[in-house]
Structure 1
Amino acid sequence: MTPELGIIEGFFGRPYTWDERAGMVRALQPAGYGFYIYAPKIDGYLRRRWREPYPEAELAALGGFADACRAAGVRFGVGLSPYELFMDFDEASKAALAAKLEQLDSLGLADLGVFFDDMKGDQADLAERQVEIAHWIAERSRAGRLIVCPSYYTDDPILDRVFGRRPDNYLEDLGRGLDPAIQLMWTGEEVCAKEFSPGHLARVTEQFRRKPFLWDNYPVNDGPRMSQHLHLRAFTGRPAAIGPHIAAHGVNTASQAVLSRIPALTLAESYARGEDYEYLAAFRRAAVEVCGPELADALERTILLLDDTGLDRLGDERHGNLRKRFAAFDHPAAREVLAWLDGHWRIGTEELQTQ
């Protein structure tokens, strides 16, 4: 069973261009990718500056992309992160939120994400407050589907270290309080889960009182550590057997819009082939589809350097050899490799703290 597949543009650092977004939608829709949630961390109007209205030009550009999604038969959505709204959900905050929802509704949203991640969460009544906000939004938004990302969206204890200890029974209280029509996101046992199992997802379903909507943090490569690598390999650890246990499977793509299509295509193949899936063969087929046979071969031959070694550990000789190899191709995927080699997508801790 292939679940609903889609793209979540939810990474830190340099965002995609509008042309890159539209190109990804057109390229992946035939493989079964049916939704796109626009939520780049750099868009302050959805995050720390959410109370400010979108300028007309930026709203028009977002509307143009919404039209491109609909023309391709893909659901268009936006991820709104009302930063620490649950700390003071007063009349002024409600007025600002209503104004932002009105702007977003003008885009004709199929999906609205309400994301409570990346903010302090160690308060006993956190779930109760977030349920109140989610229901308030649901009563006013015209989006076809509401999807909530909890503050603690994984079992990974790193969230407790960064944002404070999660309240006892937080997920159970959130699942019990939320209207069953509202979906809940989950990244797995870790922020960047290596695998998902039916047993794990069944446990989360019990806590949520609904099937989880997967936010899959592969092949995303933001942050000081991951931006050193190009995540090109085919998906593994997502067996087709998890399909019946999830509401949808959203892929948080890498900073490289064209190269991201390679692993994305392999996820669709993994679901389609089930137990017959072979990840290396899937990578080859996807790379050829995205890049053509010669560039696909070059990527496969250098994947240990691109994916595993890390930019700062390449050394001058290997760095130069890679530049020479990929400069020979007139293809957007090759240009992304070259830009990565030039440090175009490097990201530091400051971006993580301010976006």
Structure 2
Amino acid sequence: MTPRPPRITALAAAATLLAGGMLAAGPAARAADAPPAPARARDTPTITPTPQSAEPRPDRVTVTPTVTLIAGETADGPTLDVVETALRKAGARHVVRERRPVPGRLTVYAGDAAALAAQKLDGPAELPAEGYVLGIGADRIVLAGKDTTGTYYAAQTLRQVLPHRGHPGGKVAGLAVRDWPGTALRGVIEGFYGTPWSHEARLDQLDYYGEHKMNIYVYSPKDDDYLRAKWRDPYPADRLAQIKDLADRAALRHVEFTYALSPGLSVCYSSDADVKALVDKFRTMWDIGVRTFAVPLDDISYTDWNCEADKVKWGTGGGAAGAAQAHLLNRVNQEFIATHPGAQPLQMVPTEYYNVSPSAYKTALSEQLDPDVLVEWTGVGVVAPTMTVAQADAARKVFGHPILTWDNYPVNDYATDRLLLGPFNGREKGLPGRLAGITANPMIQSYASKLSLYTVADYSWNDAAYDPRESWGKGIEEYAGGDARTAKALRAFADVNYSSALNTAKAPELSAAIARYWESGDARRLDSVLASLGAAPARLRAALPDRGFIADSGPWLDVTESWATATRTALRMVEAARAGKGAQAWKLRQQLPAQVERAASYTYTGLDGRKVPVLVGDGQLDGFTDAATAEYDRLLGVSGRPTASTSLGTYQSNTVARMLDGDASTYFWSDGAPAAGDQLTVDLGEPRAIGSVTLAMAKPGSTDDYLHEGVLEYSADGESWQTLADFSGEPDVTADPPAGTKARYVRARATAGQSSWVVVREFQVTTTDGAVTGNPPAATGSSLRAAADGDPGTVYRGARAAGKGEALEVDLVSARPVGSVTVLRPSGAEGTADVQLRTADGTWHTVGALHGAYTAVDTAGRTADAVRLAWKAGSVAPQVAEVVVGE
């Protein structure tokens, strides 16, 4: 295997600093003479992660055709390779490794702190492990690390600041960088459920970590059977060879490859044979170059023993489980880690990994687990929205061991329908200094994870200077290869895939553009935003340098393009309606449902063969089409389709709108149990005469998920509520209000708390005002009522062609002035009819003729109590989407 660069590893440094007690906050506490972190000067180049100190110098150097590269004691082969490649990209034709400078050439000193004297810069001696100094000026470039990794990181910084040009002579501005990490361990844990990364993706990730000064990768994919269900079994030769490849690549990139074996599903803690199996598996890994090991004991039962001997030895309960786990880990620590010089401190994941609450389990681990074992912790919550210094201190206290965070971001195994492309957020400044380190659990999509991991690297290196949005923007620019058009496209795409538990704003830049439109009416500006979003997928497919991102994001790119088409149609529809272009607006209104349905139809195939729906910009893209449809309906003068809302959270993609879609196989599903007062509400758009109300809850497999105690209520204004019916212990509820009841809102309200969640298959409120009668009868699946139900999205379809003398009649309830009658029909609908009004004497008067998909008749305020379409006999069944009677 490739020799591991000699160095003091960050893992060992973290254990040394943290084993005896709390690490002082901030990197300055680890290097008392290190300067504070000033704001980056405006004329210094962008460096990532953001350095602790980067100051311009008044001098500069020139890249000569031949550059002399002198290697010092902290420069290893990988570092020299990075430097040489960077110099060649900067225009050097030849990079010659020498022992001393050559007159007339630019000289680069790598790993030689003494060379800083000519630049009057302090060396790295007082910096923490992996710190470095980079000096550019005084006719030289100097890279001086505290250790080999520090010099490697100096080379990564140099790579970023040197120009890219095809010939020598480039001028490089003088620069002094003094830099060090904010926490000892910074990296990634591949610890998700679902399709594991490919071998090529893992190698690519290790390259990315080295470039971004991340120094640990934990190999712990949940669906590698040889880590969990088959943990005792040896790897097949080809799989073992792949792990060796990873360990070798990690060494070259100054990354600790951590092998994490998870025996908890079947281990007998007291078994000598199982201890031997663990040690033997680790020894196999040692032989191929692995030096860092972990034993995760997460996502298992600790109340059910895997063998009777454990129950006999330790008894039952959380304390017994903690003692048993400590026993196993201590034996591995003492019989393997301690007997292998160069092995890094053992890591473990406790079964209670997600809080800081004292417990018998944590007490047993705290008191009995060897003190140099690192404990991994996810924060307060499995996916912690925030993480604070106080919480980290509490975790250190309750576990009694150094804390390495297993931060479940941007992992999406619990939300496989989404990409999580927003920044690392909600982590308090000062937190890294309280930790042994930070490992982020990434998405199933490795290449797409890089946008978020860029910000993880930035925060964990220099949290004091970290700004989530700024870091996110810099990451996008870097990932786009410095191309402005590609960066704009990537930013638009990342924006509609932004939201998560850490970033609650949904598509923040798009939502701001939509809000501006509703406030200002500037359609051109919003259309430009939507057009850019629609063009983004094609741009990324054509120009994004990292092709793995395109493969990872393919379904989401397709959905983005499709939603952009739908939202632009919705925008044009509203603008046409506002401009009085009724026929054009109606044509667009009819195109929109199919476009929305297409946008919502995309899926990909998951690890288990299940089709996974794909969500992009949910709440904004679909929200805009809904709002635009409602605005069209308002301008048309109808109530529109009912809408739904709830005080409950939503589980995955089972949105509240599903309880109004007329499909009992889809449903709203809450993400928690309701408390007294929680409600589900149907909004009819305006006060309507209501009839029967049906609430269908629960579903197969979740038969207890319904409101167990509640009341159906209605209201005209949303303020004053009347009881319609109480219900208890039944998932299906039906109620009939008194004749003549009018309401805009109908709700189901919980009157008591419960432990089960809530599923609502359908919440149906029938309306009875504006009765529709006549012929031909409606076809199966349609109704006469659909011709005047206030929703242009529903269509009356005749069961047959109209006969002579047949008509469709819409009752207006009482006589009133009628200013206009507008009849909407599906595009291509055939058949003709007279549009007629019935006056007070019962006489029908023809006021116009039905033609095409959109007919608008000015009736000049004539008083009438009914409207009808008097059909001309024909050969095609009539269709009517809506008869709209204007004042």
Query: What band does the TM-score fall into relative to the shorter chain?
Result: 0.7 to 0.9
* Alignment partner, residue 266 of structure 1: 455
Say whether 1:234 aligns with 2:431.
no
Structure 1 CA distance for aligned equivalents of residues 272 and 442 of structure 2 = 37
Q: Is the 8 A contact 1:25 1:72 kept in 2?
A: yes
| Distance apart, 1:324 and its partner CA | 4.7
Residue in structure 2 matching 1:152, options 352, 358, 368: 352
Residue in structure 2 matching 1:255, options 432, 441, 444: 444
Higher strand share: 2
Say whether 1:244 aligns with 2:433.
yes
Q: Is the 8 A contact 1:211 1:245 kept in 2?
A: no
TM-score, L = length of structure 2: 0.35
The DSSP-based 3-state class of the residue aligned with 1:284 is helix
| Distance apart, 1:271 and its partner CA | 4.2
Out of 48-57 and 337-346, give the one that drifted further.
337-346
| Distance apart, 1:325 and its partner CA | 5.5
Q: Would the alpha carbon gap of residues 40 and 198 (structure 1) be closer, same or farther in structure 2, given more than 3 Å must change?
A: same
| Distance apart, 1:291 and its partner CA | 2.8
| Number of residue pairs aligned between Structure 1 and Structure 2 | 333
Q: Would the alpha carbon gap of residues 130 and 273 (structure 1) be closer, same or farther in structure 2, given more than 3 Å must change?
A: closer
Partner amino acid, structure 2, of 1:149? V
Structure 1 CA distance for aligned equivalents of residues 235 and 267 of structure 2 = 22
Q: Is the 8 A contact 2:186 2:438 kept in 1?
A: yes
* Alignment partner, residue 188 of structure 1: 379
Spell out, residue by residue over 1:283-325, the C-alpha distance to the aligned partner (whole angstroms, 9 max, x if none). 1111121233433322321334334479xxxxxxx99977556
Map 1:74-223 onto structure 2 (within 5 A).
74-87=255-268, 89-122=270-303, 123-124=316-317, 125-141=320-336, 142=340, 143-155=343-355, 168-223=359-414
Q: In angstroms, what is the RMSD of aligned CA positions?
A: 2.8
Q: Is the 8 A contact 2:422 2:495 kept in 1?
A: no
Q: Is the 8 A contact 2:193 2:223 kept in 1?
A: yes
The DSSP-based 3-state class of the residue aligned with 1:302 is helix
* Alignment partner, residue 301 of structure 1: 492
Q: Is the 8 A contact 2:354 2:382 kept in 1?
A: yes
Spell out, residue by residue over 1:221-273, the C-alpha distance to the aligned partner (whole angstroms, 9 max, x if none). 113xx111111111111233102211111111112222212211212323455
Map 1:52-63 onto structure 2 (within 5 A).
52-63=233-244
Structure 1 CA distance for aligned equivalents of residues 467 and 278 of structure 2 = 47
* Alignment partner, residue 554 of structure 2: 338
Q: Would the alpha carbon gap of residues 15 and 86 (structure 1) be closer, same or farther in structure 2, given more than 3 Å must change?
A: closer
Q: Would the alpha carbon gap of residues 273 and 205 (structure 1) be closer, same or farther in structure 2, given more than 3 Å must change?
A: closer
Q: Is the 8 A contact 1:41 1:47 kept in 2?
A: yes
Spell out, residue by residue over 1:93-135, the C-alpha distance to the aligned partner (whole angstroms, 9 max, x if none). 3343333222222232221110111111124200110011001
Spell out, residue by residue over 1:27-74, the C-alpha distance to the aligned partner (whole angstroms, 9 max, x if none). 222322001111111110010111111111110111111111011111
Structure 1 CA distance for aligned equivalents of residues 201 and 453 of structure 2 = 15
Residue in structure 2 matching 1:22, options 198, 203, 221: 203
Q: Would the alpha carbon gap of residues 267 and 183 (structure 1) be closer, same or farther in structure 2, given more than 3 Å must change?
A: same
Partner amino acid, structure 1, of 2:549? A
* Alignment partner, residue 724 of structure 2: none
Q: Is the 8 A contact 2:209 2:255 kept in 1?
A: no
Residue in structure 2 matching 1:38, options 219, 223, 226: 219
Q: Would the alpha carbon gap of residues 101 and 127 (structure 1) be closer, same or farther in structure 2, given more than 3 Å must change?
A: same
Q: Would the alpha carbon gap of residues 235 and 88 (structure 1) be closer, same or farther in structure 2, given more than 3 Å must change?
A: closer
Q: Is the 8 A contact 1:326 1:335 kept in 2?
A: no
Partner amino acid, structure 2, of 1:212? I
Map 1:279-298 onto structure 2 (within 5 A).
279-292=468-481, 293=483, 294-298=485-489
Q: Would the alpha carbon gap of residues 291 and 255 (structure 1) be closer, same or farther in structure 2, given more than 3 Å must change?
A: farther
* Alignment partner, residue 142 of structure 2: none
Q: Would the alpha carbon gap of residues 151 and 52 (structure 1) be closer, same or farther in structure 2, given more than 3 Å must change?
A: same
Q: Is the 8 A contact 1:326 1:337 kept in 2?
A: no
Q: Is the 8 A contact 1:28 1:261 kept in 2?
A: no
Structure 1 CA distance for aligned equivalents of residues 408 and 495 of structure 2 = 20
Q: Would the alpha carbon gap of residues 98 and 28 (structure 1) be closer, same or farther in structure 2, given more than 3 Å must change?
A: closer
Structure 1 CA distance for aligned equivalents of residues 398 and 604 of structure 2 = 41
Q: Is the 8 A contact 2:192 2:222 kept in 1?
A: yes
Residue in structure 2 matching 1:64, options 245, 262, 267: 245
Q: Is the 8 A contact 1:184 1:212 kept in 2?
A: yes
Q: Is the 8 A contact 1:38 1:78 kept in 2?
A: yes
Q: Would the alpha carbon gap of residues 69 and 345 (structure 1) be closer, same or farther in structure 2, given more than 3 Å must change?
A: farther
The DSSP-based 3-state class of the residue aligned with 1:199 is helix
Q: Is the 8 A contact 1:37 1:76 kept in 2?
A: yes
Q: Would the alpha carbon gap of residues 272 and 156 (structure 1) be closer, same or farther in structure 2, given more than 3 Å must change?
A: closer
TM-score, L = length of structure 1: 0.85
Out of 115-124 and 92-101, give the one that drifted further.
92-101
Spell out, residue by residue over 1:318-339, the C-alpha distance to the aligned partner (whole angstroms, 9 max, x if none). 9997755644445332332115
| Distance apart, 1:173 and its partner CA | 1.6
Partner amino acid, structure 1, of 2:232? R
Q: Would the alpha carbon gap of residues 67 and 83 (structure 1) be closer, same or farther in structure 2, given more than 3 Å must change?
A: same
Structure 1 CA distance for aligned equivalents of residues 537 and 466 of structure 2 = 33
Q: Is the 8 A contact 2:540 2:550 kept in 1?
A: yes
Larger Rg, first or second structure (1 or 2)? 2
Structure 1 CA distance for aligned equivalents of residues 279 and 401 of structure 2 = 28
Spell out, residue by residue over 1:153-207, the C-alpha distance to the aligned partner (whole angstroms, 9 max, x if none). 01299xxxxxxxxx94211220111111111010000001111101111111111
The DSSP-based 3-state class of the residue aligned with 1:269 is helix
Structure 2 CA distance for aligned equivalents of residues 23 and 305 of structure 1 = 26
Out of 98-107 and 175-184, give the one that drifted further.
98-107
